[in-house]
Structure 1
Amino acid sequence: MSNVQFISIIYANRNRDVKRIKASINSLSSQQAQNFEVIFVDYGSEPTLVSQYQNLFTSYDFAQFFHLEVSHLLWNKSKALNYAIKKATFPNIFIADVDLIFHPNSLSLLNNLSPSEKFFLFRLGYLSAEESKKLSENHRFEDLKPQRVGSVNGMLLASKEALSKVKGLDEFFHFYGAEDEDLFARLESA
């Protein structure tokens, strides 16, 4: 297929549940399109979790795990994602959350989009706590029932070039929130 795009899926993490991360990465294992890589950046998690993450990522040949030993610093998702953007080898980047479950056709659909001169945001379904408990090795995406659906600025598909032009995410932001809205505004302006 001549129009196949290659996508780097990037994650930023700190002290998140291994089961949640595994569910997300497993959903990528079952993609119909396999033209992607995962860049997973851990930003200062507790040592016991880092060890669990390292063990988890040995099972996936499409994923790279990077641990930044910055536990003494405040959580900075922007710094972690900027690190991942620099490590990405493919021309298109999808920013994912560690608890995102991908439909088996997600990468096929993303490949049909061409983010070279634009970027894309997505509507996501949010699972209730009860529905999240249904996630397992054998869950079927179609059986998951979202509690609500909403638009977010954090799940974004853009070219690596476009992200570089706006100098990535603003590292002034700490914790969660606003860094994605700021990136969205700067990409839109550019």
Structure 2
Amino acid sequence: MSLSIVIVNRNRSFHILAKTLDSICPQLNDSTKLVVVDYGSSESYQSDLEYLINSFTSVQLILCPTQGQLFHKTRAINMVLKGCTTTYFMVLDMDCIVHPNFIKKAIELASENTVYNFPYGFLKEEESKKSKAFGEYNIDFIGGLTGSAIFNTQKLQDLNGFDEFYHNWGAEDADMFDRLEHIGVTTVLYQEELLLLHQWHEKNYRNPKSKQAFHSHLEKINHEYYGLSRKRNTTKANLNHQWGLFCDPNEYAVLKEPLETWHFKNYRQEVEGLFISLVEHPLNTPVKIKISKLSKSIKGVFKKMINRSVKPILCMEEVNDRLLETLMLHYRNNAYSFEYDRQLGVIQLYIHAETKE
């Protein structure tokens, strides 16, 4: 009986990641392998991560040059899942501390038609910084559905893997449990003993002040999308896109070269025309798209005063969200880099080649 475990990472503290690896690596063997997929940490971080992972000889590392993209956990998972040949498959958070007998217990319970989900015991900030034996940590609370599960690999592959609409965090695991249920696979929450601890960490990925890609209410959209998928009894995912695609470094290298540039202001008709064009006419050449906030002009104020027609505008936050939604729906497998400088009121998107359907 063989098992593949995948950990998806982006810019997580090395202290946290090292504690996770220290706890799980002694449990690996010839039939249990671990793959870390780093999806878009900074280039300097990825260099340091490669050095760290090299000290764990049993761990495989996949580096994705997706800096400037929304975090895409489901795609990162599917990169490993699609070609996986082990009997069972598990997704483990990068901020776990694993019980010394966790892998042994998970494999004992593993079943083709039953998914065992192991909940997390959450630690507070100060407790997370301590180094203790697993059973000595003081647990703040035990989570419910959130945890790590052991799946039959073929069942996941039959459903086209995890739904790659989901970006950032939220609902992708519940979505999978529901889709498996439709084909007769039951999910059981394992409550006999606590086998996983969750280390506290800051949620920097939710910082709207960053220039990195950030959608103001993406996690809520994830949950609404999940609710509709559940209502519609969705089984197979990723029907309109290829899934589990690896990132081609050559495509991302192009983003660093001078590109054809399209300039826009945040006039409603300009940016809505852009969104429609990106959907109706897929890109076949690398481009840079720059959208700048319209500055208030004396002429514009005067027109308003005398009730003359003024072109409507979209606020830059809405432009940001809608452009990111266009990327998620139509260009999520493309090489792209996105940033929004809220102080300057400028959005810049670098994107490569045609869509990959």
Do they fold alike, i.e. is TM over 0.5?
A: yes
Alignment of 1:74 with 2:70, yes or no, is yes
3-state SS of 2:135 partner? helix
The partner residue of 1:175 within 168, 191, 216 is: 168
1:189 equivalenced with 2:182 (yes/no): yes
Q: Does the 8 A contact of 1:7 with 1:93 survive in 2?
A: yes
1:166 and 2:159 correspond? yes
* Residue of structure 1 in register with 2:148 after alignment: 155
Partner of 1:141: 134
Task: Provide the rounded CA distance (Å) in 2 between the counterparts of 1:60 and 1:86.
Answer: 24
- Change in Cα spacing, 1:115 to 1:153, as seen in structure 2 (3 Å) is farther
Whole-Å Cα distance in 1 between the matches of residues 57 and 109 of structure 2?
25
* Residue range with higher mean Cα deviation, 97-106 or 12-21: 12-21
* Match in the other structure for 2:332: none
Provide the rounded CA distance (Å) in 2 between the counterparts of 1:81 and 1:154.
15
Aligned to 1:22: 18
Matched, 1:95 2:88: no
Does 2:58 correspond to 1:62?
yes
| SS across alignment from 1:152 | strand
Larger radius of gyration: 2
Map of 1:30-49 to 2, 5 A cutoff?
30-31=26-27, 34=29, 35-49=31-45
Change in Cα spacing, 1:168 to 1:153, as seen in structure 2 (3 Å) is farther
Distance 1:183 1:116, change over 3 A: same
TM-score (norm. length: structure 1): 0.89
Deviation, structure 1 residue 87: 4.9
CA shift in 2, pair 1:127/1:153, >3 Å: closer
Give 1:187 deviation, angstroms: 1.4
Structure 1 residues without counterparts, runs of 5 or longer:
none
Aligned to 1:124: 120
- State the alpha-carbon separation in 2 of the partners of residues 11 and 88 from structure 1: 14
Provide, for residues 84-122 of structure 1, a one-character-per-residue CA deviation record: whole Å limited to 9, x for no partner: 213544211111000111100001101211232221212
**Measured at CA, do residues 141 and 154 of structure 1 come closer, stay the same or move farther in structure 2, by a change above 3 Å?**
closer
Q: Residue 165 and residue 66 in structure 1: after superposition, are their counterparts in 2 closer, same or farther (change >3 A)? A: same
The answer as to 2:76 corresponding to 1:83 is no
Q: What is the CA–CA distance in structure 1 between the aligned matches of 2:20 and 2:127, rounded to whole Å?
A: 15
Contact 1:154–1:181 (CA under 8 A) maintained in structure 2: no
Which residue, 102, 108, 111 being the options, matches 2:104?
108
Shift in Å at residue 154 of structure 1?
4.7
Query: What is the DSSP-based 3-state SS (H/G/I as helix, E as strand, rest coil) of the residue aligned with 1:124?
Result: strand
CA RMSD between the two structures: 1.5
Contact 1:122 1:151 in 2 (8 A): no
Give the structure, 1 or 2, with the largest relative contact order (CA under 8 Å, sep 6 or more): 1
Q: Tell me the TM-score normalized by structure 2.
A: 0.49
